[in-house]
Structure 1
């Protein structure tokens, strides 16, 4: 389990992020149109997973905006923004913000993604939601880079995630 903070208060996750060079666990998540998608649907593309508690918080919204901007310049790469928000909230946010370069995905049905990736909050006020993480995959689904953001209110290291893509 990872020990992180939420507003300065110590909290834990249910596990650890997948290790570098391991195969990323497959998943089934819901798109904003309510269709389902799996990791296999992104085969052949490098993948940046921007994972966060809720798009309705400032830092989470900022990370989606930042990756939307960066994704516009990334050939052969898909940026997946993943939370437990309802697809309706994700779609509303993207429409209001003009977000078009990322894929919004929801783990609202089962929470299995957060469990499989070990990033679900186990304790604290956000228990059951996703902690703030970045997972970068190569085109074969191998893990190139991970980041478990130490303080949930802080932004991820965008530069490190994008550099991992360049090294692949």
Structure 2
């Protein structure tokens, strides 16, 4: 069973142990407007899935603001922040913080994302919420980057995650000037 730390104390994680190179499980989370959001699987864009315990903490809020600014600059990529927060709280957070470049998704209904990606905290005071993690999924639905933060109270490696997203993002096809022929 995978583990991480919470203020220096080991906590167990439960769920599937997905790895880089695996096909990303397709799961549905709930957007702030209560619509379904698909995470994982084949897509037109690459995805960076930022997992946080709750947007109602300083570290999670800071991390979400950072990914809203930095990862959203990557073309042909989608940024999704997943937590157990209720969709209404996520909407309020986005409005208050001016978060407009990413999608927030709640895993509160069945914890399907957390179980499918192995980030559900199974022990300790935060049992039942997700740990802090980042996954990059390319357009073919393959996990190309995974970081389970070793300490839940600390932010992820932004540079490595955004570099992995940049590598995973599909390059936009330039249209031909001659309708498909050589110029």
| Bin of the TM-score, shorter chain as denominator length | over 0.9
Aligned length: 168
Per-residue CA deviation, residues 61-93 of structure 1 (Å, 9 max, x unaligned), is: 111000000133111000100001000110000
Question: In structure 1, what is the equivalent of residue 50 of structure 2?
Answer: 50
Which 5+ residue runs of structure 2 have no aligned equivalent? 169-183
Which 5+ residue runs of structure 1 have no aligned equivalent? none
Structure 1 residue 12 displacement after superposition = 1.1
Residues 41 and 31 of structure 1: is their aligned pair in 2 closer, same or farther, counting only changes over 3 Å? farther
The alignment's TM-score, normalised by the length of structure 2, stands at 0.87
1:124-135 matches, within 5 Å, as 124-135=124-135
- Supply the RMSD in Å over aligned alpha carbons: 1.5
Bigger Rg over Cα: 2
The alignment's TM-score, normalised by the length of structure 1, stands at 0.95
Question: In structure 1, what is the equivalent of residue 162 of structure 2?
Answer: 162
Per-residue CA deviation, residues 27-58 of structure 1 (Å, 9 max, x unaligned), is: 01100000112236971111000001000011
Question: In structure 2, what is the equivalent of residue 30 of structure 1?
Answer: 30
Question: In structure 1, what is the equivalent of residue 142 of structure 2?
Answer: 142
Equivalent residue of 2:121, what SS?
coil
In 2, the alpha carbon distance for the partners of 1:113 and 1:104 equals 13
In 2, the alpha carbon distance for the partners of 1:134 and 1:58 equals 18
